């Protein structure tokens, strides 16, 4: 896919004409609800696959076309900036249509709440290996709080997607509860009851495996958590299930903070089948405005992770949401959560120019609301998504994991599909 960034004066008609495709195809590919509402700085995808050729001394368009087994007209179609008499110079970059490119095969996990719409689920399942249904809450007595997951499991299996049961240490107030998970890890009778309930549910519901998302575990329970993962992992594999965990984005083994300390990368690398690294939330709900997943910060985490965890076990986290903060930021205030599509529509509505931060490799825009309050919105677009997906190849990762798939951002899935083949296990 070619990524095109809207410039002043652009229209879908002019872009379609430039690349020799239909306006309707651009509308469909880019999920454009109103094709007349384009924002300067907005990314759209052009359905052209390409590689590049560096012009050498003596090259001509004809010789380049012959070298790549294409016609001159095909070459001109993917390089619309070339104008007659088509003079090219050594060092110039020429785009070449790429056909039958061998794509790496990866695994893709998507977290979904049971409230996901049937339409969004059906749109997304073709791009998934695993569907992690979020989530069964564990109680201090080792019981599980049931969720409405039957429809999602059935839909996943019809689409040859492996349904994964997710469990969390979510407390009564809705957040992750350190004391709750501590009680589970230190009381063997309660822990064994929880494991039995998990095994019963896995079999009854026809799940493919288990995703343990225990967060904010106190440092003193680190080894207890590792022991739990060993115990439940052995039990799962005995009955033919796989084990996943979700871990915080760490930069070192001794990183301080309750979010990080008990997530032992080397232990997870040995004890579980897939490790989902939550590489997002640099810009977070109650924090100051920042890119949600700045590529340089994500890469630092991955660079450390592959030294402790086999790279093919790693699924890199990908956010699928946007944040809108009021400015100036007041500590303790919360951003507004938007879908990526809503963030893009809002940019047009408020007349904002979408800017792109090269350091974070992420788009943002600023605007004033009807009360005169200034806002800043950080979100994702095709360029930022592609920048992070390229890390999968750079570090030979097993794949990616999306939080969450409850909203459908079509550009992401088209880019993913153009860069990778998605494994199916069923």
**Residue 363 in tokens:** 């788009």
Q: Mind listing the pLDDT tens digit for each residue in 236-285?
A: 999 999 999 999 999 999 999 999 999 999 999 999 999 999 999 999 99
Among this protein's residues, is 297 annotated catalytic? Answer: no
Least confident of 75-79, 338-342, 378-382, 394-398: 75-79
Predicted local distance difference test score (pLDDT) of residue 49: 74
Q: Mind listing the pLDDT tens digit for each residue in 79-119?
A: 888 888 899 999 999 988 876 567 899 999 999 999 999 99
Predicted local distance difference test score (pLDDT) of residue 158: 98
Predicted local distance difference test score (pLDDT) of residue 85: 86
- Average pLDDT score over residue span 303-314: 98
Would the CATH topology of 2-97 be identical to that of 105-318+383-422?
A: no
Predicted local distance difference test score (pLDDT) of residue 172: 86
Look at residue 348 and tell me whether its pLDDT is greater than 70: yes
**Residue 52 in tokens:** 């590049």
Predicted local distance difference test score (pLDDT) of residue 73: 86
- Given this structure, which CATH class describes domain 2-97? alpha beta
Q: Mind listing the pLDDT tens digit for each residue in 15-25?
A: 998 887 899 99
Predicted local distance difference test score (pLDDT) of residue 367: 98
Predicted local distance difference test score (pLDDT) of residue 101: 60
- Average pLDDT score over residue span 40-50: 89
CA distance 324 to 305: 30
CA distance 225 to 246: 13
CA distance 79 to 295: 28
Sorted by sequence, the CB contacts under 8 Å of residue 176 that are 6+ apart come out as: 168, 169, 170, 214, 215, 216
- Express as a percent the part of the chain with pLDDT over 70: 99
Q: Mind listing the pLDDT tens digit for each residue in 25-37?
A: 999 999 998 999 9
- Average pLDDT score over residue span 389-399: 97
Predicted local distance difference test score (pLDDT) of residue 109: 98
Look at residue 386 and tell me whether its pLDDT is greater than 60: yes
Predicted local distance difference test score (pLDDT) of residue 305: 98
- Mean pLDDT, the chain, rounded, equals 95
105-318+383-422 placed in CATH 3.20.20.80 = yes
CA distance 371 to 194: 51
Q: Which long-range contacts (CB under 8 A, 24 or more apart) does 6-12 make?
A: 6/38, 6/39, 6/40, 6/41, 6/42, 6/43, 6/44, 7/40, 8/40, 10/38, 11/36, 11/38, 12/36, 12/38
- Express as a percent the part of the chain with pLDDT over 90: 86
Place of tokens 């019981």: 143
**Residue 372 in tokens:** 């005169």
Q: Mind listing the pLDDT tens digit for each residue in 187-213?
A: 999 999 999 999 999 999 999 999 999
Exactly one of 33, 81, 206, 215 is catalytic; which is it?
215
Instruction: Enumerate the domain spans of the chain.
Output: 2-97, 105-318+383-422
Q: Which residues of 171-192 are buried (b: 16+ CB within 10 A; e: fewer)?
A: beeeebbbebbbbbbeeeebbe
CA distance 159 to 127: 10
């Amino acid at each position: 896919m070619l990524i095109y960034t809207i410039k002043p004066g652009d229209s879908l008609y002019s872009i379609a004409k430039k690349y020799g495709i239909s306006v309707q195809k651009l509308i469909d590919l880019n999920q454009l609800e109103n094709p007349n509402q384009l924002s300067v700085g907005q990314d759209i995808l052009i359905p052209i696959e390409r590689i590049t050729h560096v012009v050498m001394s003596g090259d001509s368009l004809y010789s380049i076309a012959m070298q790549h087994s294409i016609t001159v007209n095909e070459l001109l179609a993917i390089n619309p900036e070339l104008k007659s008499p088509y003079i090219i110079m050594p060092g110039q970059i020429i785009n070449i249509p790429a056909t039958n490119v061998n794509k790496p095969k990866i695994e893709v996990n998507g977290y979904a709440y049971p409230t996901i719409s049937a339409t969004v689920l059906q749109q997304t399942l073709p791009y998934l290996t695993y569907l992690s249904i979020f989530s069964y809450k564990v109680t201090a007595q080792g019981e599980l709080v049931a969720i409405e997951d039957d429809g999602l499991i059935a839909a996943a299996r019809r689409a040859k997607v492996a349904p994964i049961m997710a469990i969390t240490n979510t407390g009564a107030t809705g957040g992750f509860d350190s004391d709750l998970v501590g009680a589970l890890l230190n009381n063997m009778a309660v822990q064994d009851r929880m494991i039995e309930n998990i095994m019963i549910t896995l079999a009854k519901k026809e799940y493919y495996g288990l995703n343990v998302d225990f967060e904010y575990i106190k440092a003193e329970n680190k080894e207890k958590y590792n022991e739990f993962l060993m115990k439940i992992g052995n039990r799962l594999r005995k009955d033919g299930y796989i084990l996943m965990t979700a871990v915080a984005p760490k930069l070192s083994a001794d990183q301080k903070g309750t979010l990080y300390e008990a997530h032992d990368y080397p232990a997870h690398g040995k004890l579980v089948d897939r490790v989902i690294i939550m590489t997002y939330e640099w810009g977070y709900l109650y924090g100051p405005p920042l890119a949600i997943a700045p590529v340089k910060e994500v890469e630092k985490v991955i660079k450390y992770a592959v030294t402790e965890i086999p790279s093919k076990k790693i699924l890199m986290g990908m956010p699928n949401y946007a944040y809108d903060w009021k400015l100036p930021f007041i500590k303790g205030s919360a951003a507004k959560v938007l879908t990526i599509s809503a963030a893009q529509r809002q940019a047009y509505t408020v007349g904002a120019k979408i800017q792109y931060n090269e350091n974070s490799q992420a788009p943002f825009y600023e605007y004033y609301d009807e009360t005169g309050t200034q806002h800043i919105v950080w979100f994702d677009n095709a360029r930022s998504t592609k920048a992070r997906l390229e890390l999968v190849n750079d570090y030979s990762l097993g794949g990616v994991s999306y939080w969450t798939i409850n909203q459908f951002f079509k550009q992401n899935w088209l880019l993913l599909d153009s860069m990778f083949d998605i494994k199916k296990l069923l």
